[in-house]
Structure 1
Amino acid sequence: MTDIIAPDSRPLLELKQLEKRFVLDKGFLETLKLRRGRIVRERRAVHAVNDVSLSVARGEALCVVGESGCGKSTVARLVAGLLTPSGGEILYDGARTDNRSRAGMMPLRKKMQMIFQNPYASLNPRMTIRQALEEPMHYHNPAMSRAEVRDKVAEVMRTVGVDPSWSMRYPHEFSGGQRQRIAIARALTVDPEFIIADEPISALDVSIQAQVLNLMLEAKEQRGLTYLFITHDLSVVEHFGTRVAVLYLGTLCELADTRTLFENPKHPYTRALLSAVPQLSDDHPKHIRLKGEIPTPINLPQGCPFYSRCTYANDRCRVERPLPVQKPDGSAVACHAVEEDRLDG
């Protein structure tokens, strides 16, 4: 499969034919199945990520979007080293990371940080905010004195809009928005260059989401951060992302810069997603209602994963899996109908 590389000649992060399968039947008895009156051995697995190749250039914010269960968070955890790929490669700054041990990943932890979705679960309830923020600094910067660590923590807390005088409080004393600000502060304490944000605002009130999003954008500009931003909210993508990768059933459908994707979506699934975004103007595309059954990630279809819900599908789509094809505007689309110019409009 041809790798889809960002404009930068040396991407900070590169995924090559990445795959992740979660085995369901692990024990011997679980693998025994009755098929047409015969007992056979069959090991089932959830195919969460399937042959995904893309890259992230320094200084950009690549947003990964798709509906629930499409493999977005799995990609984030694979990049962070929290999961081990079933196949493919992950390269960070030109060096492979997917084959490293836990100890081998430690030098990267300072460069690569992750912000989790649920601010109510990502902070240790037994630790004060000061302890939570000081812990990674003591670990990654053992030469720093206690006074230097305290000063750094206070500086980062002010950066994210949290009063340093609150540092002796516990997480339960803060609101959801404040907790997520603290989680962002924890990621920033070690001065990373790359942040993986797994739906960091989806658990927050709408009134707080914009504040946290703007905070992350300010951190990007001030610190030169690179983001891998996981979300299902396309309105957030339009505001935050430089490029967008659309996943469906763990497969890459379309990859394009943000303006190109919103002005000229090409894949039928991308068009359906964008048509569902609420708009104030009357000239936005008519809502596309997808019909048909969603395939299970346990038994993926032989051809295009979107075949059963696509109005443009034909026999080739049923038997042959499409590969991403580069388009003149720089986007890449995995769709036979787009390749054959069968889409109207």
Structure 2
Amino acid sequence: MTSPLVSIQNLEKRFDLSGSFLEQLRFEGGRLRRKQEAVHAINGVNLDVHKGEALCVVGESGCGKSTVARTVMGLIAPSAGEIHYGGQRIDHLEGKTALPYRRKMQMIFQNPYASLNPRMTILQTLEEPIRFHHPDWTAQAVRDKIHEVMHSVGIDPDWGSRFGHEFSGGQRQRIAIARALAVDPEFIVADEPISALDVSIQAQVLNLLMDARESRGLTYLFITHDLAVVEHFGTRVAVMYLGRVCELADTRTLFATPRHPYTQALLSAIPKLEDDRPNHIRLQGEVPTPVNLPSGCVFHGRCPYANERCRQEVPMLITTDGGAQVACHAVEEQRL
């Protein structure tokens, strides 16, 4: 296995809820105490993204997948851990030292209605990143590049004088993809890029992303909650639950033989026409709050296979016979 293009190591992110020092002070039992609270959004995530692949990160809302994406892109500073790109640590870089990686790493956001500046024409939107990263380019070179990326995503170059509000959601997302491709990146983080679009448009945008991966040699970190998209688009899948990766496998292996109880429950919820599919697995209980994380395995309160070890000890990712990585004591002890 070659060295990863992007490596996420022991990543953690906490969002403080306590406020100022005075707001943290409480009277309890006649004594003044300081109480600090935080949302534990990411809790020790380890992921490697290899060149040319599409690694999909899935999980229910609030599991931390979008926070991982924004932390990798430097939009959010990690509370702990490291992020490496091409073997170089980048999470601590700022200013001019981060510029080379800003060009190599681009992001496509979830909401195409909010990610485009309403006061800028499409031409200005696409010009901005090119002029920023290539200040030495001539006006003709910039114009040629804009026409090239617009053609590559199926946009008419004559649309350049129009504003974002004049386009549909699918057209806006194509413009957002063109903006990401304008600086010839190597790595793209796509944070649920089709969830805000009509179903009829989703397949078009998804195929566009796949074509761009083939023609430009792109690497994707693809955030989604749609498992049908994962099966069609992803080369590998990481399943997250409450800020932790509970299973990591190539797409075919994960959908054929899911090992983690949470992954099994997720996949059982996909509507299928075949009668030989297992019945829908109904999980008991509620998702714990990320403010007060449960001890041990974060899934033990809803897992039918949990024992005392699961309630006390945090499981680590172990490699199974099929090559998948699973963080589950029941799998490790061969109880599941």
When the two structures are superposed, what TM-score results if normalisation uses the length of structure 1?
0.96
AA aligned opposite 2:235: T
AA aligned opposite 1:309: R
Residue 102 of structure 1 deviates from its aligned partner by 3.6
Structure 1 residue 309 corresponds to structure 2 residue 309: no
SS of match in other structure, 1:247: strand
CA distance in 1, matches of 2:335, 2:88: 41
CA distance in 2, matches of 1:264, 1:70: 22
Structure 1 residue 141 corresponds to structure 2 residue 141: no
Moved over 2 A (4+): 33-39
Match of 1:120 in 2: 113
Tell me whether 106-115 or 33-42 shows the greater mean CA deviation: 33-42
Residue 282 of structure 1 deviates from its aligned partner by 1.4
Residue 34 of structure 1 deviates from its aligned partner by 4.3
CA distance in 1, matches of 2:38, 2:188: 30
8 A contact 1:63–1:244 mirrored in 2: yes
CA distance in 2, matches of 1:186, 1:154: 12
AA aligned opposite 2:148: E
**1:255-266 equivalence runs, <5 A:** 255-266=248-259
CA distance in 1, matches of 2:163, 2:78: 36
The equivalent position to 1:47 in structure 2, one of 32, 40, 46, is 40
AA aligned opposite 1:257: D
Match of 1:278 in 2: 271
Match of 1:99 in 2: 92
Residue 176 of structure 1 deviates from its aligned partner by 0.1
CA distance in 2, matches of 1:300, 1:216: 36
AA aligned opposite 1:172: H
Cα root mean square deviation, aligned? 1.0
SS of match in other structure, 1:316: helix
Gaps in structure 1 of 5+ consecutive residues: 1-7
Match of 1:251 in 2: 244
CA distance in 2, matches of 1:278, 1:165: 42
Residue 322 of structure 1 deviates from its aligned partner by 0.6
Gaps in structure 2 of 5+ consecutive residues: none
The equivalent position to 1:154 in structure 2, one of 141, 147, 151, is 147
The equivalent position to 1:196 in structure 2, one of 189, 193, 199, is 189
The equivalent position to 1:241 in structure 2, one of 234, 238, 249, is 234
SS of match in other structure, 1:291: coil
**1:1-345 equivalence runs, <5 A:** 8-36=1-29, 38-343=31-336
SS of match in other structure, 2:175: helix
CA distance in 2, matches of 1:77, 1:34: 37
Residue 28 of structure 1 deviates from its aligned partner by 1.4
CA distance in 1, matches of 2:28, 2:236: 46
Residue 209 of structure 1 deviates from its aligned partner by 0.3
SS of match in other structure, 2:301: helix
Deviations 1:237-262 (A, max 9, x none): 00000000000000110000000000
Deviations 1:35-94 (A, max 9, x none): 455431111010000011110000000000000000000000010000111111100000
SS of match in other structure, 1:307: coil
AA aligned opposite 1:178: Q
AA aligned opposite 1:169: R
AA aligned opposite 2:186: E
AA aligned opposite 1:329: G
AA aligned opposite 2:46: S
Identity %: 67
CA distance in 2, matches of 1:24, 1:124: 31
Deviations 1:245-291 (A, max 9, x none): 00000011000000000000000000000011111211222111111
Tell me whether 31-40 or 160-169 shows the greater mean CA deviation: 31-40
8 A contact 1:62–1:229 mirrored in 2: yes
CA distance in 2, matches of 1:293, 1:188: 41
Deviations 1:112-165 (A, max 9, x none): 000000000000000000000011111111121111111111111111011111
